[in-house]
Every structure is written in C-alpha cells, then in structure tokens.
Amino acid sequence: MQTLEPLNAEAIYRHSRAFELEIHAQLDSTQDRARQRLLLGQAVPSAVVADTQSAGRGQHGRRWLSPPGAAVYLTANWPTARTPAQLAGLSLAVGLAIRRTLAHWQVDARLKWPNDVWVDQRKLAGVLIDVLAQPPGAQLLIGIGLNLRLPESAAQDLDQPWTELSHWLSPLPSRNLLIGRLLHELQGVLCSFEAAGFGAFADEWQSADALSGQQLWWRGSAGVERGHALGVDELGRLRVDIDGKLRLLSAGEVSVRPF
C-alpha cells in the first residue's frame, strides 16, 4: 500500500503561499482550532491542517471520521468585507474550488447542493462553513474534508454512499501538492466571490450540478418533502419543482434517496 508522506508546510508553500499555515499531527478539530486563532486575534488568511482529528464534524453536527492520514482535513480562515447576509452561495463556490483542484488530475467531480463533492454519485469531499460576524464584514472558517484512502474500520461507520481518491487515482498524488493546489484554487474562488458574489460562478456551477433534473427529498422545518431539482438561482438557492410550483431552498438536508 502506498505510504502518504508527512504533512510539510514548505512543501505546501511551493504550490500556494496564499495562506499562513499551521500544521498538526492531531487536533480535536481544525474548525475549532481555526476559530481559536481568530479569538486570539490572528485574523490573517490562514489554514489549519491536521493529520487526524479526534472530534471532526460535518454538516448538521454529524461526526466527520478522521483516521490518521486517510483524508485531507483543513480549515481556512478568510477575512471578508461582505456581511453574513451577502455570503449566499459561498459553500457552492468553495465546492467549485475542490472540483477545480481534482480536475488537475482528470477526476470529474460533481457538486451536490449545498456542501458535498461527488464522484459517481458518491461523496468524496464535504464543506463546512462557519461565519463570525465582525462588522463591517466577517471572518470565514471554511472547513474541507477530502477522502484519500479510508481504512475499512472507518468506512463501515459511514451512513451514506462514499468514495475515496485512491479509487480514482493510483498512485495518489502527493498530499502536500494536493493541499497546495487546493489552497491555490480556494484563494482564486474567494477573491472572485469577494468581488462579485455567487453570480461569478453561476455558469460553472450549472455544468457541475449533480442534482439538476433529479427527484429529491429534503428535510426542513416542515419535515420531509419531495420534488424535482431545477438547478440553483443567482443567490445559490436550490430551485425545486413541487407539483408545478417553484420553491427556493436556502437551507436544509437534501437527498436523492428517501430519508
């Protein structure tokens, strides 16, 4: 089995110097450590990377399994002049940064609204965004987890169809190169989003949309409902047809399989 090289800041910097790096062998959570950095006044663009997490988390408070060396675990901090209300569609744009990164290795990823990156309709990566309002703008905590090679013991605990990069690429690319490229693409996406919001990515998202035209279910405040996905609007809201009527979703848990 291929051995992953140790995380190395200088090796990552060779591919991107957009973020100040902090690398750990183990953390409770890169998201929590990045938040701690902000509370300590370290508000420059930065990325916290860990080899493993003991309390990683994903959307809706789910545990994100984080075995040593099995995935990319990172959280980027990015200061923005946009208010929280002006950040609609950000998670979709971050998904495009992951997709652009994978395209360097000819991996054709699709994006499941609003936070997942799919290959062959199975989850390869996920995005978790926390926003800390700091008028006149905000600080963004952008968590990214990307499966590289999961041990069988961890894979058995996953509650949805999943995949790993080693299934699509052999040998795996250098982990430091992968992280460096990801941070490079993330910087470009965040700069474009800062200037123009989600509108700058509407056409690209349409070509990457994994849900368009599919029947789906979503769990919201009214319980579980069903409809057909029609893409997203200019604010990144999911357009859903329900018996001929259009509904716009800005949040909620979405699945192409019944809950």
Same domain, 83 and 38: yes
Question: For 54-69, what is each residue's pLDDT tens digit?
Answer: 876 665 556 656 789 9
Tens digit of each residue's pLDDT (9 = 90 or more) over 150-159: 887 665 566 6
Structurally, how many domains does the chain consist of? 2
Question: Are 103 and 197 found together in one domain?
Answer: yes
Judge if 71 and 191 occupy the same domain: yes
Q: What is the pLDDT of residues 159-196, one digit of tens each?
A: 688 999 999 999 999 999 999 999 999 999 999 999 99
Assess whether 201 and 228 both reside in one domain: no
Q: What is the pLDDT of residue 5?
A: 85
**Residue 102 covered by a domain:** yes
* The pLDDT of residue 182: 98
State the CATH number of the domain containing residue 219: 2.30.30.100
In this structure, the answer to whether residues 133 and 224 fall within a common structural domain is no
pLDDT in tens, 6-36: 999 999 999 999 999 999 999 999 999 999 9
pLDDT bin (cut points 50, 70, 90) of residue 217 is: very high
Strand order in the sheet with 20-27: 20-27, 46-53, 71-80, 137-147, 122-134, 116-119, 110-112
In this structure, are 89 and 131 located in the same domain?
Answer: yes
Same domain? 174 vs 240: no
The arithmetic mean of pLDDT across residues 214-236, rounded, is 92
Residues 150 and 24 in one domain: yes
Say if residue 200 is in the same domain as residue 225.
no
Same-domain pairing of 245 and 150: no
Q: What is the pTM of this model?
A: 0.94
Structural domain that includes position 98: 9-207
204 pLDDT more than 60: yes
